[in-house]
Structure 1
Amino acid sequence: MKVIRIFFILFFLQFQALFLYGQLSEQWGDQKNGTYVNPVLPADYSDLDAIRVGEDYYAISSTMQFSPGMVVLHSRDLVNWEIIGHVVKDLTAISPELNWNRMNAYGKGIWAGSIRYYKNKFWVYFGTPDDGFFMSSASSAAGPWEPLHQVWKTRGWDDCSSFCDDDGQLYFIATNFEFDPKTNKQYNIHLFKMSPDGKGLITSSDTIIHQSKGSEANKLYKIGGLYFHYFSEVREEGRVMMMERAKKLTGPWEIRQLNHVDTKLDKEPNQGGLIQLPNGQWCFFTHHGTGDWEGRVASLLPVQWVDGWPIIGAVGEDGIGRMVWSAAKPINNKSDLEIKSSDDFSSPILNAQWEWNYQPRIEKWSLTERPGHLRLHAFETVKPVKPLYHILTAGNTLTQRTMRTQANTVTIKMNIAHMADGQYAGLTHFSTTSYSTLGVRQVQNERYLVYEYNGKDTVGVKITGKSIWLRSTWDIHGKNTYSFSLTGRVFIPFAGITQLTWGSYRGDRIGIYNYNVLGDKGYVDIDWFRYRYWKKE
């Protein structure tokens, strides 16, 4: 009977894997029948942490060099989410390398952090690999957030979390991933006490509470009178989720593995937040540590307590969890929350879904110079290492995350009447491993359609009108095609199919670009941006 039971468990897990990556892989999120399919967010929501406050759920996700930084999400059922804001308004408070005139921090910038609610405030802490740890607080998760404060200027650390104990004492936990000559090891996890205002570390309290290969993704909890330290580490099967528990923060700690890696799919859960629902049920909201062209997507996993341990996913015969690709919704309500994407630029401020590639040059864009339009003034790119003007060195490129669904279309209407010689403007997909653009280039007072892919361009028709419509369409495999229209009605495909990619820990971005290789001159007006992705209705 045990052999038969194991066979059915393995068959069920394989079926779940096929459900996502086989013929039915086009499903995601809320299925509108009381169930959901992972991922619940099929886009780049990396390094997640999540909490519950009352009947609302909040999460944060790292943003690297994109601005504003550290995106904040909100949900009422842990399956349907909306973007409500960002923690960091100005990335130059972290480093000048994150500004439009440097653009020198791909793969760096804002890494993983934690969001907590205590002392009647939301508290977010995060790290950068080169600049140390930062924090901000707010009375509302949507902001406004307090000006960024540097907790500790250091380098070689990551994956921090704050924790408020029952007596009000604040603690801070983080990983030093660089080699430590004192311990002769890497990936030492340190615990500090913090000052009462939460803005400084009491360095004399420094204690190493764990070390193992690749140990990071730290979170601290107190549940049922016990302290729980969540982290991940690298084992032979891959990166797995781990938990320590103790009666005191000083230890001694018991340790337990919480999940196995789905090695066939290489899509292990990793960074995330452990959440208790009002009815006592537990869930884990997490990203998948291995990225693809859409980035590191977000999934929701059920949690079962076994012998006092929160086992994540489906509990196997060995008492260790496995990935769950579909389940009943933990809160079966009819939520209307979604990741908003389209924009008619009628607001005097940018909607929350937008992020600039690096801190933008503020005087070179406006939503008020021509109300109802996004005006982008062109300026020179940062000179790249190679003599090539491409999208990775163009300031004020405005972006959104690329969704991985079965049908995805972005269309923009762009007024080009005020372009200048040397100016390029249009629609782009980019990561640090590849990029493509379809737009308009002006040369000697004449404008041409031009497609560029990784530095090689193809020139199309001459454009004589004042407006052009540009479109990008991609499928669930990240195969993208561009098209254009001179009337807004009939779209003509241009160039071939390109594969979207990821790089420097980030998925592909869809964006609007505008720059000039001859100087700071010319501008375009974006009338609207329409982004339609497939979801279950």
Structure 2
Amino acid sequence: MLKAFYAFLLFLTLTIQVLAQSAKWGDQHNGTYANPILPGDFHDPDIIRVGADYYCISGTINLSPGMVILTSKDLVNWKIAGHAVDNLTQISAQYNYDKMQGASRGIWAGAIRYHDNKFYVYFTDPDYGIFVTSATKISGPWKPLIPLLNAPGWDDPCPFWDDNGQAYLVATNFADGYKIHLFKMDAGGERLLPGMDQLIHQGKGSEANKLYKIKNYYYHFYSEVTPEGRMPFMERSANIAGPYLEHRQLIHKADHEPNQGGLVQTEKGDWYFLTHHGVSQWDGRELSLLPVTWDKDWPVWGTSGKDGIGSMVWTAKKPGTDLTAEPIQASDDFGGKTLAPQWEWYYQPNNDKWSLTERPGYLRLYSSKALEPRVVTKIPNIITQRTLRLQHSIASVKFDMAHMTDGQIAAFCLLGKSPVTIGVIQSGNTRRLYFNAAGKTTDGQEIEIANVWFRATWDANGLAHFLYSTDGVNYDNFGEPFTITNFDNNLGARLAIYTVDENAGTGFLDVDWFHYNVEN
């Protein structure tokens, strides 16, 4: 009993520390930065530098477009550049709007590399194998996916081109005891060579692979399950195929287990590790940047101890300066002809059911019928973006409901394993407010005008409220306060907009704008 009490106190202390750090994040505008640099779901990252530009990717599970790509000049301020996968049905038809199967599957961790004037992105789907795509520009267009290995049970692939041009791929077969394999590939990195497969590592849960050659060593980065939790390690060898007889833990046990990520060197020669925090909260797995020092040719994360193992740092000097840096994209007035890159659909959308051009300056969403009645996560064409763990968040949206029809719902949602929704439902010619949480619906007042404004507010603990307005100025609370939830530790909560009609009507919703201030 006493042991359990002390365990609870430790958990409470760590939670308070993490929430305290959430009060400041990213660029502190005084030459320093605070971790996390992005307090939202940018899980399973990898990073490269090409010239003066840094590029990062993050897995997106069953969201589309998939595999988000970010860019930065200083490693701290990031912008979304686009996505590497424009259509999830390249992987499987199960991710299409008419099936909506495979939640938390889809695009898992991957790697980004630049070789021979071309960008490459590799990733796995746990059910369908290893894929690669490439582009000559980070903005694309990205080539259709090429399946490298058609087999379930693989994750965390990473390519490597040696000095002689030979291409390799490292990946974990988690379905076979987390054995890590090294494959040879053709020079273009788009085909595994038959019979060129070698086992180089096995642990209790080894994954998160990256391969590097630095000075005279080949370094294999991986994370491993230990009695203390998931830990990052590096092992090295004079030969790429091993044996990897030397290995070292990179950081001591730290809040939320920083582990998976990538190593990068600045133009000045300094080293950093971009990593996510492996224990997901309601906002997903946040992104942190750790300075790296070298001890006897071993990388050390954060601050180095006498044992050569690093410790987590929450603040540090910025690697560089970007006078043009702006906050990561969030707000949208829907004035473009293409969807802004912060938006991702929940599963592959029906492109006949949305438009930015039918009414310029608005996102038009045609109503869809849910694949399962009254199940939010089975509604096609839910458009989403990330929530961030800020001290105080406000996200607002303006709806024009003039063309809704009988039975149609227009909704603003905080989407997770327990979705919570505020919206308007039309019955005949009457529209009425409604709030839904945990399957329980609360009806509100009639809405007699075409426009309605919705607002979500939440704090760093994920405690949230919904509000509404009929004039865009004065907002009233509606519904009970609630705690935001994520998706099964694999995906953070999402801000979402959708319209649904169980009668399969022909109505539509026009979204005028979405405002979300994410400045720190």
TM-score normalized with structure 1 length: 0.92
What is the aligned counterpart of 1:485 among 457, 462, 469?
Answer: 469
Q: Distance in 1 between matches of 2:500 and 2:20?
A: 42
Q: Aligned to 2:89, what secondary structure does the other structure show?
A: helix
C-alpha displacement of 1:454: 2.2
The match for 2:237 is 246
Pairing partner for 1:341 from 330, 352, 366: 330
Matching of residue 288 in structure 1 with residue 272 in structure 2: no
1:437-480 C-alpha deviation (Å, 9 max, x unpaired): 10110112211101011211100001110111111111111111
Letter in 1 for 2:191: G
Deviation at 1:178, TM superposition (A): 1.2
Match of 1:106 in 2: 103
Stretch of structure 1 that moved more, 445-454 or 57-66: 445-454
Q: Which deviates more, 142-151 or 482-491?
A: 142-151
The C-alpha deviation readout for 1:80-117, integer Å capped at 9, x for no partner, is 00001000001000011111111111110000000000
Taking the TM superposition and a 5 Å limit, the aligned residue runs for 1:33-432 are 33-179=30-176, 186-253=177-244, 254-262=246-254, 265=255, 267-383=256-372, 388-431=373-416
Preserved CA contact (<8 Å) 1:376 1:525: yes
Asked if the contact 1:405/1:534 (under 8 Å) is kept, the reply is no
Alignment-mate amino acid for residue 222 of structure 1: K
Taking the aligned partners of 1:333 and 1:178, their CA distance within structure 2 comes to 44
Unaligned 5+ residue runs, structure 1? 1-15, 180-185
**5+ residue gaps in structure 2?**
1-12
1:107-158 CA-to-partner distances (Å, cap 9, x unmatched) read: 1000000000011001000001000011111111121111111111110010
CA distance in 2 between counterparts of 1:347 and 1:75 reads 23
For the aligned residue pairs, the C-alpha RMSD in angstroms reads 1.4
Once the two structures are superposed, residues 469-522 of structure 1 have per-residue CA deviations (whole angstroms, 9 ceiling, x without a partner) of: 111111111111011111111111101111011123111000111111111421
Give the counterpart of 1:494 among 468, 474, 478: 478
Structure-1 residue corresponding to 2:422: 438
**SS in structure 2 opposite 1:451?**
strand
Task: Please tell me whether the aligned partners of residues 19 and 461 of structure 2 are also in contact (alpha carbons under 8 angstroms).
Answer: no
Residue 390 (structure 1) shift: 2.6
**AA matched with 1:259:** I
Q: Distance in 1 between matches of 2:201 and 2:175?
A: 15
- Verify the 8 A CA contact 2:228 2:253 in the aligned structure 1: yes
Structure 1 match to 2:439: 455
Contact 2:200 2:243 in 1 (8 A): no
Q: Percent identity?
A: 47
Structure 2 SS opposite 1:495:
coil
How many residue pairs match? The answer is: 506
CA-to-aligned-CA distance 1:163-184 (integer Å, 9 cap, x gap): 11111111011000013xxxxx
Secondary structure at the aligned position of 2:94 is classed as helix
The change in CA–CA distance for 1:278 and 1:19 in structure 2 (over 3 A counts) is: farther
Q: Say whether the 8 Å CA contact 2:367–2:506 is kept in structure 1.
A: yes
Cα shift at 1:422: 1.5
Asked if the contact 1:347–1:367 (Cα under 8 Å) also holds between the matched residues in 2, the reply is yes
Q: Distance in 1 between matches of 2:78 and 2:242?
A: 37
Structure 2 length-normalised TM: 0.95
Q: State the distance in 2 between where 1:347 and 1:534 align.
A: 23
Q: 1:309 to 1:24 in 2, by over 3 A?
A: closer
Preserved contact between residue 407 and residue 533 of structure 1 (Cα < 8 Å): no
**Shift in Å, 1:338:** 2.5
